[in-house]
Chain A
Amino acid sequence: MVASSDSHVTQCHIAAMKATHPVFCTIVPPHVLDKLAQADDPDLAGPARRTLEADAAQRTHRRLTTVLGAPAATVPQGAAAGKPHRTVYDAQHGQRLPGVKVRGEGDEPGRDATVNRAYAGLGATFELLLKGFERDSIDGTGLPLVASVHYGENYGNAFWDGRQMVFGDGDEIFRDFTIPVDVIAHELAHGLTQYTANFTYFGQPGALNESVSDVFGSLVKQYVNDETADRADWLIGAGLLTERVTGVALRSMKAPGTAYDDDVLGKDPQPAKMEDYVRTGRDNGGVHINSGIPNHAFYLLATDLGGRAWERAGQIWYDTLTGGSLEVDASFADFARATVAAARARFGDGEELEALLKAWSLVGVPTG
Chain B
Amino acid sequence: MRIGVRRTGGFAGIERYAEVDTSERPDAGEWHALVEEAVAAGRGTPPVGVPDGFSYQITVDGETVYCADPRLTEAQSRLISQVLKEGA
Interaction A to B: yes
> Is A66 positioned at the interface, with any CB of B under 8 Å from its CB?
no
**Chain A: how many interface residues by the 8 Å CB criterion?**
53
Known: A1-B35, A283-B9, A288-B13. A159 touches B69 (CB 8 A): yes
- Binary per-residue interface labels of chain A (81-101) against chain B in the complex, 1 for a CB within 8 Å, 0 otherwise: 000000000000001010000
Contact A95 B43 (CB under 8 A): no
What is the CB-to-nearest-CB distance from B78 to chain A, in angstroms, rounded to a whole number? 10
Number of A-B residue pairs, CB cutoff 8 Å, is 120
> Is B42 positioned at the interface, with any CB of A under 8 Å from its CB?
yes
- Binary per-residue interface labels of chain A (1-17) against chain B in the complex, 1 for a CB within 8 Å, 0 otherwise: 11011001101100110
- Label chain B's interface by main secondary structure: loop
| Alpha-carbon gap, A286 to B15, bound state (A) | 11
What is the CB-to-nearest-CB distance from A101 to chain B, in angstroms, rounded to a whole number? 18
| Alpha-carbon gap, A219 to B69, bound state (A) | 28
> Is A338 positioned at the interface, with any CB of B under 8 Å from its CB?
no
* Partner of A24 from B36, B54, B71 at Cβ < 8 Å: B71
Query: Closest residue to A288 on the B side, CB-wise?
Result: B13
> Is A265 positioned at the interface, with any CB of B under 8 Å from its CB?
yes
| Alpha-carbon gap, A209 to B49, bound state (A) | 14
- Binary per-residue interface labels of chain A (158-184) against chain B in the complex, 1 for a CB within 8 Å, 0 otherwise: 111110001000000010010000010
Query: Closest residue to B15 on the A side, CB-wise?
Result: A282
Contact A154 B63 (CB under 8 A): no
Contact B8 A29 (CB under 8 A): no
- Label chain A's interface by main secondary structure: mixed
User: How many interface residues does chain B have, given as a range?
Assistant: 35 or more
Contact B13 A27 (CB under 8 A): no
Contact B71 A27 (CB under 8 A): yes
Contact A154 B85 (CB under 8 A): yes
* Partner of B12 from A1, A153, A174, A282 at Cβ < 8 Å: A174
Contact A24 B60 (CB under 8 A): no
Contact B50 A284 (CB under 8 A): no
> Is A67 positioned at the interface, with any CB of B under 8 Å from its CB?
no
Q: Can you name 9 extra interface pairs (CB under 8 A) apart from A12-B41, A157-B11, A284-B49?
A: A11-B40, A24-B73, A95-B70, A95-B72, A157-B54, A209-B51, A250-B11, A265-B14, A283-B13
Q: Which residues of B contact A (CB under 8 A)?
A: 1, 8-15, 32, 35-36, 39-45, 47-55, 60-61, 63, 65, 67, 69-73, 77, 81, 85
Q: Which residues of A contact B (CB under 8 A)?
A: 1-2, 4-5, 8-9, 11-12, 15-16, 19, 21, 23-24, 26-29, 95, 97, 152-154, 156-162, 166, 174, 177, 183, 186-187, 190, 201, 209-210, 213, 237, 250, 265-266, 269, 282-284, 286-289
